């Protein structure tokens, strides 16, 4: 089996310190908001262990979540709601959430690095970085803030809408989640524009 080639290290074209990394979490789930975060790291206070949030254990993410909030120059978390996802589509809702996260930073960045290959429409000089949460520390930090925030919110939603297992699968279309959808029908936090949810609504 051929090993997948790793992407080369990312070299930022901007040389200043006020560089924000931005990432979103929650494009794939059938339920819940899409959450984005933006982070400007402090070069004088490096944070060890930053990586793609999906590759970290929950314990490690929780630890880094607190470290980022304590040591970053600035950070912000924002979202696009389920209603906005259904109205705009998930891509544009994700870009909106990222836009809101950067705008909410208390320290305005001089340059923004966006995870992926699409960027919001804004006035900031920026660059997109494919797999940026693996290649850029500030993007990795943003992915951790966004994921921990969203995961914790899904635990709360699980208590409000029991039976779907939201605390476990975080809204992703697992077999258990699909079975619960068929049995219970969609909840108010399910994304009506997503095909599995839409099909259940058509049966009501």
CB atoms within 10 A of CB 198: 14
Distance between CA atoms of 48 and 21, rounded to whole angstroms?
A: 16
* Inter-residue long-range contacts of 58-67, CB under 8 Å, 24+ positions, other chains counted: 58/151, 61/144, 61/147, 61/148, 62/148, 64/141, 64/144, 65/144, 65/145, 65/148
Tokens encoding 66 = 């607190």
Per the annotation, binding residues for a divalent metal cation are 23-24, 115
23 close to 136: Cβ distance less than 8 angstroms: no
Per the annotation, binding residues are 23-24, 115
- Alpha-carbon separation of residue 79 from 16, 93, 95, 101, 115 (angstroms): 28, 8, 10, 8, 16
């Amino acid at each position: 089996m051929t090993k997948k080639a790793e992407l080369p290290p990312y070299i930022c074209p901007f040389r200043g310190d006020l560089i924000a990394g931005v990432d979103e979490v929650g494009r794939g789930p059938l339920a819940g908001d899409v959450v984005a975060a933006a982070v400007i790291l402090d070069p004088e206070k490096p944070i060890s262990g930053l990586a793609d949030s999906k590759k970290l254990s929950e314990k490690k993410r929780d630890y880094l979540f607190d470290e980022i909030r304590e040591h970053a120059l600035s950070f912000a978390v924002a979202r696009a709601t389920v209603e906005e996802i259904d109205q705009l589509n998930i891509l544009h809702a994700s870009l909106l959430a990222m836009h809101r996260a950067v705008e909410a930073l208390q320290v305005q960045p001089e340059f923004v690095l966006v995870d992926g290959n699409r960027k919001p429409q804004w006035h900031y000089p920026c660059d997109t970085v494919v797999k940026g949460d693996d290649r850029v520390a500030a993007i990795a930090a943003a992915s951790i803030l966004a994921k921990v925030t969203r995961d914790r919110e899904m635990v709360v939603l699980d208590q409000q809408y029991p039976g779907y297992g939201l605390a476990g699968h975080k809204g992703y279309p697992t077999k258990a989640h699909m079975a619960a959808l068929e049995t219970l029908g969609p909840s108010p936090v399910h994304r009506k524009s997503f095909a599995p949810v839409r099909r259940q609504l058509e049966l009501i």
